[in-house]
Structure 1
Amino acid sequence: MSRRSSGKPVCGKRLGLTQAAVAEAMGITRRAVIYYEQGARLIPKVVTLACKALEAERTA
């Protein structure tokens, strides 16, 4: 099930990354990151999982 964001960063702010850096790391466009953060589009489960993996990688 996908979830709708309510203006929260996809995961970059917690890691100190820009939207462009998050997009590049996850293989999506910066525009997609913006849509998810604004709540304009549902965040696909695969993006949520990629974010968790990115956070784990960066904090390990």
Structure 2
Amino acid sequence: MVKINGKEAADVCGMTVSQYLSANNYNPKHIVVELNEEILPKTEYDSTAIADGDVVEILSFMGGG
């Protein structure tokens, strides 16, 4: 089982991080991906596959004042 942003995610094992982000309409320029409590460099999104047991957090930046 994979958890993404605290929720169980089905059918994502084997997808690369880039594929997941694209399939879910995330803009990689505006987010940071944390994989198993470590920030994943953007250069590794294409080569990192999501595996059973992974915990993924997708963090977006918000501006405000």
What TM-score does the superposition give when structure 2 sets the normalisation length? 0.37
Larger radius of gyration: 2
Give TM-score, length-normalised by structure 1.
Answer: 0.39
- If each structure's helix is expressed as a fraction of its own residues, which one has the higher value? 1
